[in-house]
Amino acid sequence: MTKIRITLNMSRIVMTDLEFLDTAESLLSRIETSCDRINDETDADIDNQRVGGMITITFSNRSQIIVNLQKPLHEVWLAAKSGGYHYKFKDGQWQDTKGEGEFFENLSRFGTQQSGVALKF
């Protein structure tokens, strides 16, 4: 009887806590940088305030979008007028856990809806 050994080369699916924190920190920094750029390049007047792992984006009409880290779940949560969304890092992007798109595309869409100004984060 011949034995056959099959070896699968699967990429690691689980992210370590440190990898999550590094990747999530990059996301939060990009949001802050995008807010600054939007204020410099457009007539939009948006404010962003960061406290730890949470950013509150406030638009001139006082509506808000809140982004916060859910460290135990390795997720980023986004709360907008349209609802609450959960994102996990997959294939190099923060993807909605229910298949509703990429984080920055959604943030741009929700920000545009709430501010009334075309925004690209």
User: Which residue ranges make up each domain of the chain?
Assistant: 17-115
Profile the chain (121 residues) by mean pLDDT over runs of 10 residues. Answer: 53 82 98 97 94 97 98 98 97 96 98 95 96
Read off the DSSP letter of residue 71. G
- In degrees, rounded to 5, the angle at the alpha carbon of residue 39 between the alpha carbons of residues 29 and 58 is 70
- pLDDT for 8: 46
pTM, 2 dp? 0.87
Domain 17-115 has what CATH class?
Answer: alpha beta
Read off the DSSP letter of residue 118. -
- Alpha helices by DSSP H, 3-121: 17-41, 103-115
Exposure on the CB side of residue 116, measured as CA atoms within 13 A: 7
The CA-based diameter of the chain, rounded to the nearest angstrom, is 75
Read off the DSSP letter of residue 43. S
